[in-house]
Structure 1
Amino acid sequence: MSAYDSIMQGLSEALDHAQGKDIGAQVHDVVVPAVDVAAIRASTGLSQGDFARSIGVAKGTLLNWEQGRRHPTGPAQVLLAMIARKPSLVSELLG
């Protein structure tokens, strides 16, 4: 099978899967736990500004998360869940 044929087969299978057709694909649902951002930050001992900088978000974003106006999603939620399990992670990796 040529590279073109392989790509076309993959695209066809992806479209079938997106349309709900059973193509025998393995689907993995990854559940990332909800996080308490204020408690996680407190466990690190960092100020809001320092913690926001250490995880690469604006301080305003962190404030919105801590006050419940917004919730972290995607990579931010995963990173925060990791820090919740090991608060020293930030200082170990960035210190």
Structure 2
Amino acid sequence: MTQFGDDLIQSLQEVAAYTKGEDVPGMVIHHAVSPSEVRKKAKLTQAEMAPLMGMSLSGYQKWEQGRRTVSGPAQTLLRVLEKNPKAVIDALAS
């Protein structure tokens, strides 16, 4: 079998193990972050949060309303905001 085939089989076995609740070393699972929960935890208004995310207020509100999907890079920024809002605010203010 080819290397690709071997890797594909290994990946499928890892997914199967994960779905059974087994620990899979090296597997990283990213869970979606709620924009509204992050914003509330940071004690920000929607009007304050939107520019931090680099978007309009209406675009940000669509995220919170579930009418727009949060992209991968935006999810990453939300995770950083969730962990350390001051660092993001300070970095974007300079």
Shorter-chain TM-score category? Answer: 0.5 to 0.7
1:6 aligns to what?
none
Q: Residues 1-95 of structure 1: matches in 2 within 5 Å?
A: 21-22=4-5, 30-95=28-93
- The gaps in structure 2 that reach 5 residues or longer are 12-25
Count of residues in Structure 1 that have an aligned counterpart in Structure 2? 77
Shift in Å, 1:43: 2.1
- Please say which structure displays the higher CA radius of gyration: 1
Secondary structure in 1 matching 2:74? helix
Point out which structure has higher relative CO (alpha carbons under 8 A, 6+ apart).
1
Shift in Å, 1:55: 1.7
| Distance verdict in 2 for CA 1:30–1:61, change over 3 Å | farther
Provide Cα deviations, 1:31-76, integer angstroms capped at 9, x if missing partner: 3321111111122222212211122012122111111222312100
Secondary structure in 2 matching 1:92? helix
TM-score by length of 2: 0.61
* Sequence identity percentage: 31
